[in-house]
């Protein structure tokens, strides 16, 4: 598989990252660039997907960036791993549901390697874990398809400040909370991106 792998050490501004992705989509569509998988972290930012509602903003002082991805409002920032991609579904099955399942299964398998059980939810997209007898969100997924090229990506909460979610209704889901890996199990997550990359690449081959 001819995919460029990027791992940014320094935080990348959200708008710069999205502009890079959108340019890459054009280049991949024109066969001028490789596909891309990119791991990074953002400075603190709130973003709104194409189906968000203003009522999901609980603190009007937040700086909200509207984006073309699917989904509603979420937060990105320190302590959260973001995985962006530009992947050409013309070279695979043109099946969006299958593609989302590949992402979900890659995250679920990776968390299992850390002895953390998680699951997907057809009604509420993302990955969920059981914590103190409550189902909580551990990973968010938001993608866009343009000419059968999938881009944007997913994020996994590692040790981020969960208070940031109190200013919004995360992903428009009122009755479920958000958590992070450190709250579930206090262990070393330094190799998380490597494990996700390995599982994602393997699942893309299926």
**Residues that are catalytic:** 171
154 contacts 49 by C-beta, under 8 angstroms: no
In angstroms, the CA 13 to CA 63 distance is 13
Contact 85, 150 (CB under 8 A): yes
Which of 184, 158, 172, 152 has its CA nearest to residue 18? 152
β-strand 45-48 against 64-66: which pairing, if any? parallel
Q: How far is CA 164 from CA 14, 75, 76, in A?
A: 16, 7, 9
46, 62 contact by CB (below 8 A): yes
Q: Measured between alpha carbons, how far is 53 from 72 in angstroms, rounded to an integer?
A: 7
Alpha carbon distance 19, 6 (integer Å): 16
């Amino acid at each position: 598989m001819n995919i460029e792998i990027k791992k940014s050490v320094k935080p990348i501004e959200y708008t710069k990252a999205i502009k890079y992705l959108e340019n890459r989509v054009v280049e991949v569509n024109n066969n001028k660039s490789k596909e891309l998988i990119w791991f990074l972290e953002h400075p603190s930012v709130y973003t709104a997907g194409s189906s968000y509602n203003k009522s999901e903003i609980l603190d009007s002082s937040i700086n909200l960036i509207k984006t073309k991805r699917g989904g509603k409002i979420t937060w990105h920032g320190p302590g959260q791993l973001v995985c962006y991609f530009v992947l050409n579904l013309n070279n695979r099955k043109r099946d969006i549901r299958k593609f989302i399942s590949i992402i979900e299964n890659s995250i679920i398998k990776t968390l299992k390697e850390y002895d953390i059980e998680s699951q997907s939810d057809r009604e509420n997209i993302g990955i969920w874990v059981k914590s103190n007898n409550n189902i909580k969100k551990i990973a968010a997924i938001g993608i866009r398809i343009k000419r059968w090229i999938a881009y944007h990506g997913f994020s996994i909460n590692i040790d981020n400040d969960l208070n940031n979610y109190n200013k919004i209704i995360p992903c428009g889901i009122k009755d479920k909370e958000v958590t992070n890996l450190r709250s579930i199990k206090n262990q070393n997550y330094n190799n998380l991106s490597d494990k996700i990359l390995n599982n994602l690449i393997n699942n893309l081959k299926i």
